[in-house]
Structure 1
Amino acid sequence: MFESRLMTAATTSFHLRIAGLTIGVWGHDETLKMQLDPAMRAFSVAAATPDIAIQASYRMLSENPADKPVFESGGLWRLSTRHGRPCFRFVSPYFGTIPYKEACFTADFSRGEVHLHKPYFSASQRLYPLEYPLDELLILYLLSQRRGVEVHACGIIDADGRGHVFMGHSGAGKTTLAKLWATHPDITILSDDRIILRHTSDGYCIYGTPWHGEAHFACTAEAPLASLVWIGHGSHHTLTPLAPVEAIGRLMSCSFPPFYNPEALAWMLEFSTGLVHAIPTYQLAFLPNRHVLTLLQSRLMAI
């Protein structure tokens, strides 16, 4: 908590913990003034041994380094390899063709460097060097090392401390459902857009993330997973059990697959298969009113 308050000012280092994974960042340039993005402050923790340690600094970047292309996102970022090591580069039309940032890592993804193209930034500017989407890409890469899966979902913790995940694509009703749950005094909302699923010694667990949706729900809490529900709008409220074979495809379609890593992709399928055979799965059709909460409580939270 103390470190979280410090993050509102310029700092020389910070640590983030998301879904039990820790990222440590140190300024490697005394002219670089770092600060956390507001959405990340709740996920700031005291100094701890990180899963990945990163040094951040200014540097003069080039437009065409001798990298081997791996994956093109179609947006701000692309993944390549440089001397066998993963490297993310970020290009925006606002700046030009030279990347405004690159992040390169060791082959095992335990250490890395983030470089910001110095001409694009003023000397007095305070920067969050892991600015989205890099922070999420780091967690996704760590998860791809057989650690878990991130999904498009609203996640909650019920009054008994059990987690429920309501998955769906854009427009399915994740934020709508989160707002409805927010009217319930005994429910903790982990996120209205991104949830992380992991398998621990205690079974499958869900974790809140800082990458919220329109309603800005983001919570650091975690809970054992009790149910997995695919949601969509309907003409009335219905909750239908799903067979594992159908649930696997839906889970994969709502996840963030590492298309650039065939081995990690195969492990994600294995993880998803195990999860849907261990956890009750459902299809929910609902109207945007509080009556759906009564249905969900009677069917999911009375188990």
Structure 2
Amino acid sequence: MDIFMEIGGYRVSLKEPMDRQCFIWPNKRFEPFLTPRSGYSDITITVRITKTLPTLNKGELIFDSGVGLWKLYDNASDGFLIESCLPGSGRLLSQSKVSRDFSSIQATLREVRPKNSTRTGWTPNNFLNPILETVLQLKLAREGGVILHSSAVLTGEEALLFCGPSGAGKSTIADFFLDRGYTVLNDERVIIRKTNNDFTAFGTPWTGSSDLFCNRHGKLKNLFLLRQGQTSHEINQVSQPQMIAALMQQTYLPYWDAVGMSRIADFFQEITETRGCLGLSFVKSPDVVDFLNEKFLAHTR
């Protein structure tokens, strides 16, 4: 089985050469990102399905998600090793050897048998979450970009991005824009990359509570740090150090990777210099769309 997709401008190819039984695919979140067969891939994944996972020399543990989902090991000359568990069970599901430049993944997955099935096989979604997302985060850190805990909407060919912690209102404001006919890139995780000497926001398959996503992108117009308002919508200026600190808190940081950390810091430094440092306090009312439209938008959808 071959799967080809594009996420955040990266072309990804996944090959399972034994053509084992595949369950729950296409997945609704990944289907919009599927593409025709491509001759070139930025990330190449080869998957092997097995009854038991091999015993490997893991190397040094450098990151643990802390919730029984995945662990990252530095496997010296062999690159990196990512181990992931079946969600909700803690049972080891996959082992993925990742090249140093994050362009190649050799994955071994434990076979599964869903209820009411007489055959064993595999579920791509169990691999793509979280392995592909993790590798994209690491690759972006090295190459100039992030997956940001944020929502984003398209306004014509441009994008407004709303960043903040859980409960700040990312999904809520995305819902308000959707109801007004705007396209929502994502309500939880957005890729930001520098392309053609400018910043671009991309939709991703990894969603929040509103389950809003699409495979589109737009030039980043404005970036807002969200807060819950009390009585009215307000825009306020945020200091650059405060804005950078807030952005750093809302992205995955590879603390073990000095190069990646430095490039993320430089990335946020440049994005705050060129897109400003704005805070948005808003009350839970759909007229926040009108408020932003009057101040920042050209009445485009």
Offset of residue 126 of structure 1 = 4.7
CA distance, structure 2, for counterparts of residue 139 and residue 118 of structure 1: 25
Name the structure 1 match of 2:9: 20
Q: Could you tell me how far 1:131 is from its partner in structure 2? A: 3.4
Matching residue within 144, 148, 155 for 1:151: 148
Tell me which residue corresponds to 1:213: 208
Q: Quick one: distance in 2 between partners of 1:93 and 1:286?
A: 35
1:138 aligns with 2:135: yes
Match of 2:245 in 1: 249
Q: Aligned equivalents of 1:30 and 1:219: distance in 2?
A: 29
Question: What SS class does the counterpart of residue 129 from structure 2 fall into?
Answer: coil
Give the counterpart of 2:290 among 288, 294, 300.
Answer: 294
Deviation at 1:36, TM superposition (A): 3.5
Worse-matched range after superposition: 272-281 or 53-62: 53-62
Q: How far 1:91 sits from its partner (Å)?
A: 2.8
**3-state SS of the aligned residue for 2:139?**
helix
- Percent of aligned positions that are identical: 21
Deviations 1:33-91 (A, max 9, x none): 36332210000111221111111111331467443212111021000133431110013
Letter in 1 for 2:283: L
How far did 1:130 drift?
A: 2.5
Identify if the C-alpha distance between structure 1 residues 90 and 239 changes in structure 2 by more than 3 Å, giving closer, same or farther.
same
Q: Which amino acid aligns with 1:147?
A: G
| Cross-structure match for 1:42 | 32
1:100, 1:120 within 8 Å by CA — same for their partners in 2?
no
Partner amino acid, structure 2, of 1:190: L
SS at match of 1:131: helix
**Partner of residue 162, structure 1:** 158
Aligned equivalent of 1:73: 65
Q: Which residue does the alignment assign to 1:103? A: 96
1:72 partner amino acid: D
| Residue 202 of structure 1: how far off its partner (Å) | 4.4
> In the alignment, what sits opposite 1:191?
186
Q: For the residues of structure 2 that align with 1:254 and 1:93, how far apart are their CA atoms? A: 23
TM-superposed CA distance for 1:161, in Å, is 2.0
Q: 2:234 aligned to 234, 238, 249, which one?
A: 238
On the 8 A contact 2:20/2:121 being kept in 1, the answer is: no
Tell me: CA distance 1:157–1:79, structure 2 relative to 1, closer, same or farther (3 Å).
same
Cα deviation, residue 32, structure 1: 4.8
Task: Kindly state the Cα deviation for residue 94 of structure 1 after the two structures are TM-superposed.
Answer: 5.5
SS of residue in 2 equivalent to 1:56: strand
Provide the residue aligned with 1:115 in structure 2. 108
- The gaps in structure 1 that reach 5 residues or longer are 1-11
Change (3 A) 1:144 1:32: farther
Q: Is 1:150–1:194's contact at 8 Å kept on the other side of the alignment? A: yes
Structure 1 residue 31, shift from structure 2 partner: 3.0
Whole-angstrom CA distance in 2 between matches of 1:92 and 1:119: 10
Distance 2:71 2:168 in 1: 28
CA RMSD of aligned residues (A): 2.2
Distance (whole Å) between structure 1 residues aligned to residue 219 and residue 89 of structure 2: 44
Structure 2 unmatched runs, 5+: none
Paired residue type of 2:136: I
Whichever residue aligns with residue 189 of structure 2, its letter is R
Distance 1:95 1:162, change over 3 A: closer
Distance change >3 Å, CA 36–CA 244, structure 1 → 2? same
Q: Which residue is equivalent to 2:18?
A: 29
Contact 2:160/2:221 (8 A) holds in 1: yes
Given the two structures, how large is their TM-score scaled by the length of structure 2? 0.88
Q: Are 2:74 and 1:87 aligned?
A: no
